[in-house]
Every structure is written in structure tokens, then in C-alpha cells.
Structure 1
């Protein structure tokens, strides 16, 4: 279905290692650690694409490399090797990991929105909800107070935060409401890609369902592409068009979500799917 379409994001051969690396790293890793030199490969030759309007799910256990991938994409950490190209940045010809700090800030503020598992990482808890959105707009160069107020109101309404509570700080909100404020902030600058990192973990089941339903509505309304990281296959089943399965810093399986859940090929994926049944 994507034969001629250029992906919104293309990641090629991402690696993140902690240690010098050696020849033995090529063939002798125990899980993601080299027994010879002790180097840990948090991400090991990861390549993937995300297309316009799709949800790409990334699933795997703790330590599989999911969060490392997300932090590299959001420019929180520097990869050891690899490239990442955005269609909307320099026509997709320059890797976002190879540009200046000022350009990285521009990419981060204009092209991506990030929703963290822990809202404390993604929100200023003592700012009002509106001010959290305004801060993201200001970072991208917006200076018109009226425009910022209008955008904040539009986005908070889209995530079902009542207008009567827009001037309240997120610290007084429930976990589910904090995630909704994070989502509205992440959407502030019309990003090409929304990064969702374990956004329902720790929430009550009824709240999880509301947040997942909201993500579906946001995708339908704004047509934004989403990279969705989760260890929960039920979440992936509900939202993802395609899924990538990670283990020990590597991609071990990828394909249409339905195919992966109905006919998993890799032993680890089979184990994950069977634990769902």
C-alpha cells in the first residue's frame, strides 16, 4: 500500500551502544551485551518507516530498546550510528541526527510531539494547562497572545478538558487528564509525527480506554502519524496498523498488526501473543 508514497519518517540502521565495541560484538552478544568487551547495545541496527496518517506500534519487554529509539527520535539522546529522515525536513535528504543543535531544536519544536509515560517529563505541573500549550507554541516562534489562547482552547477542547479547568495546573488533575493535556501540548505545532511512549501504563482500565479512544479521535481529526510504544499487545491491537516487535535492542519481527497477532513467526512474538490469550 505504500509502494510510491514517501514515508513521514525513515530510520536507517540506528545503533546506540554504551562501551567501545569490538569485533566480537558482531557475532557474540549475550542478549544485548558483549561478553568480551562489556559493551551494551541499547539499539542495534534498527530500521523502520512511518507513513502519513498511520499508527506504527512498537512492542517489546523492558530493555528491548523501545524507549531508546523514542529518545533518539525526540533528540533527547545522541545515537552512536544511523540516520533519521523526515519528509518535511530538508525534503527528507538530511538526517536529523547530523544537524546543529539549533536545527535539532527546530525539528523537535515543529515536526514532533512527544507524550511521555510519566506526565512530569512532558508538562510543567505548576503552569496552567493553557500555558503548557503556549510554551510549546512560543518555542516554535509564535508571539501572538490571541492566537496562542485560541490554539490552546481548541486543543484542550479536542482532548475533552472542560473550558472551566483550562486555567488550572496539571498537578491538580488525575493521571488520565494529565495525559490528555500532554497530548494537546504535543499537537500544538501541527507535528508530522506524534511519539507516544507507554501513555496508558499505570492508568486504571476505564481511564486507559478513554485515553486510547481519544488517540483514535485525534488521529482521525488531525491525520497525524503516530509512533506508539507499548509493552501491552492489547493497546497495540486496538490502535496500530503495523507493528514492530523488539527484543534485546533489535527488531525481530515486523508487519501488519493483524498478521503478527494471528500468525506470529518469531518465538518471542509467539510468547507475547500467547500471553494475551
Structure 2
């Protein structure tokens, strides 16, 4: 019997603009890539569907503007999606499209079910809080009240992501980009989420720092068996981390399958270009 997905995503849609008679009807839609030249509407995410399984790393690859980060922000409730369905295989949420839940219920999901590591640490960390304070804030938001437990858990997480405890009272704005990403990862893991989102987490980092962050992510996934969605424009990152992958272009999925399969035998012309540029 096949394993049940921990996350089921169906027909996600996100557009910027009102749309017009030239682009609203999918059957008569006239777009340049994902842009309507008549009214200026951009179809950032169009009819995106996939499953994520327990303990799996799913890669989402595509060029800048392909819709991959917008899709992830929609899943994490950072932006509203126009339509679609998302189901989480957790007892409290069984059978419920989480996109239609109240803001309080969505906050619960962000605190207990999801973890998020942003491309820009400014989006995921409070730079004027200490590193340990950032982790504590996430735990308090999820209901933790015992100061000793919060401090012990925060110290363990900082050690796990290789942040020296002598620097735990320092503000992340004093850290390098790689260290900021490590603090973000520690914060995202603070409540043991079963699902972790990673959005371009190595972009802008030096190659040696990229390698250490990727090694850390692999170690965390191996030890904790968290389900991850890893978004990147870099196929080398996806190759290192992802079991399965989807390739996005102009807001839609153009190819999906096992990562090795996509790399060895890409079917779509755009995926072929991506793979050959890696060689």
C-alpha cells in the first residue's frame, strides 16, 4: 500500500492584476509567457499540483520569475492565493483545505506544522533580537512558557546548526550571511515541524558557505526525517538535496519526476537547457 502524502497541493492559482477578456478564460487566454499584454495581469502561479511524502525532499527548480517562490509563499500564508486546495495529513486538519481556514488556524499551522527558511534572513529573523531570542520568540508564539525549557532547547538548536554558544546573545545583524541562515534554520526547527520550506537559502552565499549550509540541511533531514520543499534556481542544489523534483516555467509545472531521472533524461526543452548548463 502506498504511503499517504503529508501535503497535497491541488490547482494553485495566483495572479497579479484583475485580468480581462483576453486572459481570464483559460481556453481563449492569450499570454506572452505568463503576462497579458492587454491588461498587464501576470499569472504568477497557474494550476500547480503536487504531493509531498513523509521524510521526502521535493525540489522546485526554475529561473527567476517562474513562480516557485510565490507558490511557496502561498503555501506558508505569506501571500493569498487566488484559488486552489492544500491538504495536510495531520489528525486536526484531515480533509480540510487549509487555504480556507481562519487566520488563527493558519497561525497554528505556521507555529506547529510548518517551518520556513527565507532567501533573505531579514524576512525570517528580527535583527535587533539576540540569536537565542529569535528562537525563543518562535517557541513562545507556539505556547511555550517555561523559561528553562526554552533556553535549553534554543541552546541545543544553536549547537546543532554550529553557532557558538558564546555568541548566542549577539544580534544576527552582526553575523555573516551563512551564520544568519543557520540561525534561521534553528528558529524554523524550534517546534519540530513535520514540514520545512526552504526558499533559495544559498543564494548570495560564497561557495564554501553554500556547501556548509547544504551539508547542514542534509544532516537535519537525515536525522529528523522532516519533509522538505526546497526552492532553487540552481540545479546543483536540487541535485544534492532532492529525491523528486518539479520544474517550473512561467508559473506552471513543465516537468516532474525523480531528480536523477530529470537530470539524466530531461524531456522538456527548458529542462534540457538547465541540465546542459550544469554540465
Give the TM-score normalised by the residue count of structure 1.
Answer: 0.96
Which structure 2 segments of 5+ residues have no match? none
TM-fit CA distance, 1:22 = 4.5
Q: Aligned with 1:78: secondary structure?
A: coil
**What is the distance in 2 between the residues matched to 1:91 and 1:6?**
14
Q: Deviations over 1:118-169 (max 9, x none)?
A: 1111001121111100000011111111110111011111111112111211
TM-fit CA distance, 1:23 = 5.3
User: Is residue 2:175 matched to residue 1:177?
Assistant: no
* Contact persistence 1:89–1:107 (CA under 8 A): no
**What is the distance in 2 between the residues matched to 1:76 and 1:33?**
23
**What is the distance in 2 between the residues matched to 1:33 and 1:172?**
41
TM-fit CA distance, 1:89 = 5.7
TM-fit CA distance, 1:24 = 3.8
1:236 maps to which of 235, 238, 251: 238
Which structure 1 segments of 5+ residues have no match? none
Equivalent pairs counted in the alignment come to 275
Aligned to 1:20: 18
CA 117–223 in structure 1, closer or farther in 2 if over 3 Å, else same: same
CA 101–237 in structure 1, closer or farther in 2 if over 3 Å, else same: same
Matches within 5 A, 1:60-209: 60-88=62-90, 90-209=92-211
* Contact persistence 1:198–1:229 (CA under 8 A): yes
* Contact persistence 1:130–1:149 (CA under 8 A): yes
Aligned to 1:39: 41
* Contact persistence 1:16–1:81 (CA under 8 A): yes
**What is the distance in 2 between the residues matched to 1:259 and 1:6?**
23
User: Is residue 2:17 matched to residue 1:7?
Assistant: no
Q: Deviations over 1:230-271 (max 9, x none)?
A: 000010011100010000000000000000000000010001
Q: Deviations over 1:76-115 (max 9, x none)?
A: 1110000111112634311111011111111111111111
* Contact persistence 1:126–1:171 (CA under 8 A): yes
* Contact persistence 1:88–1:192 (CA under 8 A): no
**What is the distance in 2 between the residues matched to 1:51 and 1:151?**
27
